[in-house]
A and B are shown apart, each in its own frame.
Chain A
Amino acid sequence: MESIAIEVNNVTKFFKISRPKGISNLAKSISLKNQSFKVLDSISFTVNKGDVLGIIGTNGSGKTTLLRTIAGIYKPDIGSVRINGRLSPLLQIGTGFQKEMKARENIVMNGMLLGMPKKEIENKVADILKYSELEKFSEMKLKHYSSGMRTRLAFSTAMQIDPDILLVDEILSVGDRNFREKSYRTFTSFKEKKKTILYVTHNLESISKLCNVGLLLDKGKQVIFGKTEEIIEKYNNINNKNN
C-alpha cells in the first residue's frame, strides 16, 4: 500500500480578469487585452494517509481555489495533482443541492453523484438523516432549510459515502456547537481509520486541536508547510503586520 494520499506538484493557477460586458462597455472590452492574475503560485506538498492537514490564510489567499483544484473542479495551468483513493469534497456548502426538492430526494441525488449506487444510498438515507438530526425535516424542501441545516445535511451525506480523503472548506463554523462537536468526533474517528482530511478554516483553535500538519498561504504563495504550531505563529505574524 502506498502511504501517500495527495501529491500536489508545483501547482499554478491563473484566473482571467473578465472583460466588462454590455453595449456601453463594448469599445473598452475590445481594446482591453485578456488580463489574468495568479491565484496559486507554485504550490507543492505531499499529504500522507492518516494526515489531517489544516490550511489557513487571509481572505483571498487561494485556499478555496487550492481545494477545488485538488478536487479536480479546476484544472491547474501548470503542475499536477495526484490523488490516491476515493475523494469526497465538501465545498461551498449546499450548492450541490436542488432547492425545489426534498431533503430525502437531495440525499439520493447527492449520493449518486458522489458515486454510490442508488440502492446503496437509499438504504443509507435513514442513517444520514439521523446523524444530521434532521429526521423531522426529511420531507421539507431544501429552500426552506437554514444554512446550518443544509451544512449538516451535506456533511452527513459526504461522510456516509465513506471516502478515503475528505476535503472540507470552512463549513463547520455554520453548525451549532452540538453539531460542531459531533463533527470533530467524526473527524477524529476518521483519523484513527488512517483516512486523510484537508481542512480549510479561520478557526486556529480547531486547527491545533485536529490537525497534525498545516499549510499557510498568502496571496497565492505557499508561505510554509509543516508543523501546525509554526504555521499558526507565522499566521499571527502576518495578521499583526497587516494591522
Chain B
Amino acid sequence: MSDILESKTISSFKKKVSLVFNFAIFNIQLRYKNSYLGIMWSALEPLLYFSVLYVVFTGIRGRQEDFAIYLITGIMMFHIFTRGTSGGLASLTSHSGIIQSLRIKRDFFPIFTVTATVLLAFVDVGVFFALMPVFQFTPSITLILLPIPLILLFILVLGLSYLLSIVTVYIRDIQIIWPIFTHTLLFVSPIFWKTNEVQGILLSIQKINPLGQIIELAHRLVIDGTIPPINDWIYTTLFVVGIFVVGYLVFRKLEERIVEEF
C-alpha cells in the first residue's frame, strides 16, 4: 500500500514531519479564527488567570516575596496542560469528516494537535519571562533546567490526548466532564498555595497529581534555586510515562472501529 503514513523510508519520514507541522499550524490558525485579538489570546489567557489570582491572593495574604513568579510558573504549566488536553480530547471528534473520507493513521490527529500545543507553549513561556523584570525577579542558574519539567508536561499532555480523544469517540460525556476536572486541578495543584502550607487531603491529592508534581519540580528550579532530589524526578517521570503508555495502548486497542461511531 502506498500510503504515505505507513511507508518507512527516510523521505516519507520527512514528509510525515512536514505534514504534522503544517497541520499544527492550521490547527493554531483555526483556533483563533473569528476572534478579533486572534493569537494574542494565547498570551492574554495566562495573563488574565494570573491577574485575577494575584489580586485575590495578595488581597487575602498580603504581599509575599516572589509570589508573582511562583504564581505565573504554576499558571504557565496549568494553562499549557488545560489547552493541550482539551484540544487533544477533541482531536478525533472534531476531524470526523476527514476520518470518514480518507485513509489516514488515526494517531495523526492527537499528534498534530499536541504539536500545536507545544508551539503555543512558547507564548506561555514568553509571558513567564516577560513578568520577571516586571516583578524585579532575578532567576538563579537552575532555571536552565526548566525545559525538563516542560518536556514531562508535553509527554503527559500527549498521553492524555491519546486516551481522551479515543474514549470520547465512544463516550461523549467525557467532553462535558473534562473541563470541570481541569478546573478542579487549578485548585488542587500547588499554583497559588505551597505544599508546606497545606495538609491533609490537599497533600494526599498532590501525591497522585502528575500535573502538581511537575509544577512542584518547576517551582524548585525557578523559585528555590535548587535542583530537586533525584527521587522526585524519577517518581514524576515514571508517573508521566505510565500515563503515556496506558493512553497509547488504549488508543491502539480502540482505534480500528472509530469510523463506525461517527
Q: Are A91 and B26 in contact (CB under 8 A)?
A: no
Check if B34 is an interface residue, CB within 8 A of chain A.
Answer: yes
Residues from chain B with Cβ under 8 Å of A96 in the complex: 97-98, 101-102
Residues from chain B with Cβ under 8 Å of A89 in the complex: 101-103
- Chain A: minimal CB distance from B32 (Å): 11
Q: Are A100 and B33 in contact (CB under 8 A)?
A: yes
Check if A79 is an interface residue, CB within 8 A of chain B.
Answer: no
Residues from chain B with Cβ under 8 Å of A109 in the complex: 22-23, 26
- Chain B: minimal CB distance from A153 (Å): 13
Check if B48 is an interface residue, CB within 8 A of chain A.
Answer: no
8 Å CB contacts to B: which residues of A121-163? none
Task: Report the bound CA distance from A100 to B97 in whole Å.
Answer: 14
Check if B208 is an interface residue, CB within 8 A of chain A.
Answer: no
Of the residues A16, A72, A112, contact of B103 by C-beta under 8 Å: A72
Given known A97-B97, A113-B98, contact A85–B2 (CB-CB < 8 A): yes
Residues from chain B with Cβ under 8 Å of A86 in the complex: 2
Q: Are A112 and B2 in contact (CB under 8 A)?
A: no
Of the residues B3, B18, B30, contact of A98 by C-beta under 8 Å: B30
Of the residues B26, B103, B256, B259, contact of A105 by C-beta under 8 Å: B26
Residues from chain B with Cβ under 8 Å of A91 in the complex: 100-101
Check if A71 is an interface residue, CB within 8 A of chain B.
Answer: yes
Q: Are A72 and B98 in contact (CB under 8 A)?
A: no
Check if A60 is an interface residue, CB within 8 A of chain B.
Answer: no
Closest to A91 in B: B101
8 Å CB contacts to A: which residues of B71-122? 96-104
Check if B56 is an interface residue, CB within 8 A of chain A.
Answer: no
Residues from chain A with Cβ under 8 Å of B227 in the complex: none
Task: Bin the interface of chain A by size.
Answer: 20 to 34
Given known A72-B3, A91-B101, A100-B34, contact A118–B18 (CB-CB < 8 A): yes
8 Å CB contacts to B: which residues of A48-75? 68, 71-75
Closest to A94 in B: B97
Q: Are A15 and B260 in contact (CB under 8 A)?
A: yes
Q: Are B102 and A114 in contact (CB under 8 A)?
A: yes
Q: Are B18 and A95 in contact (CB under 8 A)?
A: no
Among B26, B34, B96, which residue has the most Cβ atoms of chain A within 10 A?
Answer: B26
Closest to A119 in B: B18
Q: Are A95 and B26 in contact (CB under 8 A)?
A: no
Check if A115 is an interface residue, CB within 8 A of chain B.
Answer: yes
Check if A186 is an interface residue, CB within 8 A of chain B.
Answer: no
Q: Are A16 and B260 in contact (CB under 8 A)?
A: yes
Check if B55 is an interface residue, CB within 8 A of chain A.
Answer: no
Check if B151 is an interface residue, CB within 8 A of chain A.
Answer: no
Task: Report the bound CA distance from A18 to B33 in whole Å.
Answer: 35
Q: Are B260 and A74 in contact (CB under 8 A)?
A: yes
Check if B1 is an interface residue, CB within 8 A of chain A.
Answer: yes
Closest to A81 in B: B1
Residues from chain A with Cβ under 8 Å of B257 in the complex: 75
8 Å CB contacts to A: which residues of B1-46? 1-4, 15, 18-19, 22-23, 26, 29-30, 33-34
14 pairs across A/B with beta carbons < 8 Å?
Answer: A68-B100, A68-B259, A71-B103, A73-B103, A73-B259, A94-B97, A95-B98, A98-B30, A112-B19, A113-B19, A114-B102, A117-B15, A117-B18, A118-B18
**Interface residues, chain B, CB within 8 Å of chain A?**
1-4, 15, 18-19, 22-23, 26, 29-30, 33-34, 96-104, 256-257, 259-261
Q: List 12 extra interface pairs beyond A96-B97, A100-B34, A117-B18, CB under 8 A.
A: A71-B102, A73-B101, A73-B259, A75-B257, A86-B2, A91-B101, A94-B97, A95-B97, A96-B102, A100-B30, A112-B23, A113-B19
**Interface residues, chain A, CB within 8 Å of chain B?**
15-16, 18, 68, 71-75, 83, 85-87, 89, 91-92, 94-98, 100-101, 105, 109, 112-115, 117-118
Q: Which 8 A-B pairs have the closest CB atoms?
A: A95-B97, A72-B103, A115-B4, A96-B101, A96-B98, A95-B101, A100-B33, A91-B101
